[in-house]
């Protein structure tokens, strides 16, 4: 399911996107709120098997801190365009909280932009919006 699109941030004809995977709906709910705050394409990786655009990934964690299989498969083919990762999780999992985002950050050498519990809070939205705008600003200056 593709989330509605409100616009794109541009750099020399290149689009910056937010790509996400939502297993239980928490990430999708966060994306729906985020789209009201930021003008950027937000697309489920289930609807986009490849990309040639720079993107920020939002992912939940599965099992005991693992990267979900669809995210791992997507990254195998598309990691070269990854600019940062955001994690969703449940603090009840202790040290495994948002483990997938930490693994992606370490594996692919990209910043861990933010982590949020379940579907996030208004403060999480504010922080993510600010960090995404910083990343976009640094892309434009390059």
pLDDT per residue as tens, the chain (142 positions) = 223 222 333 333 356 889 999 988 889 999 999 888 787 888 999 888 889 889 999 999 998 889 999 999 999 999 999 999 999 998 888 888 899 999 999 999 999 999 999 888 999 999 998 888 888 777 665 5
Token digits for 9? Answer: 């941030």
User: Could you give the 3-state DSSP secondary structure of residue 131?
Assistant: helix
Q: Which residue has the tokens 């999780």?
A: 89
Q: What is the pTM of this model?
A: 0.85
Token digits for 92? Answer: 């009840």
Q: How many CB atoms lie within 10 A of CB 125?
A: 18
d(CA 18, CA 40): 7
Please give the CATH architecture assigned to the domain spanning 9-141: 3-Layer(aba) Sandwich (3.40)
Considering only CA atoms, which of 73, 61, 62, 34 is closest in space to residue 115?
61
């Amino acid at each position: 399911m593709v989330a509605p699109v409100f616009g794109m941030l541009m750099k020399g004809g290149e689009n910056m996107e937010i790509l996400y995977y939502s297993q239980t709906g928490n990430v999708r709910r966060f994306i729906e709120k985020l789209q009201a705050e930021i003008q950027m394409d937000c697309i489920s990786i289930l609807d986009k098997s490849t990309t040639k655009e720079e993107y920020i990934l939002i992912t939940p964690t599965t099992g005991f801190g693992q990267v979900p299989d669809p995210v791992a498969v997507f990254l195998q083919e598309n990691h070269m365009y990854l600019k940062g990762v955001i994690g969703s999780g449940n603090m009840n999992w202790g040290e495994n909280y948002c483990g997938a985002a930490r693994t992606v950050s370490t594996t692919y050498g990209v910043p861990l932009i933010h982590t949020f519990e379940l579907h996030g809070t208004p403060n999480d939205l504010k922080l993510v919006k600010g960090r995404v705008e910083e990343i976009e600003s640094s892309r434009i200056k390059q």
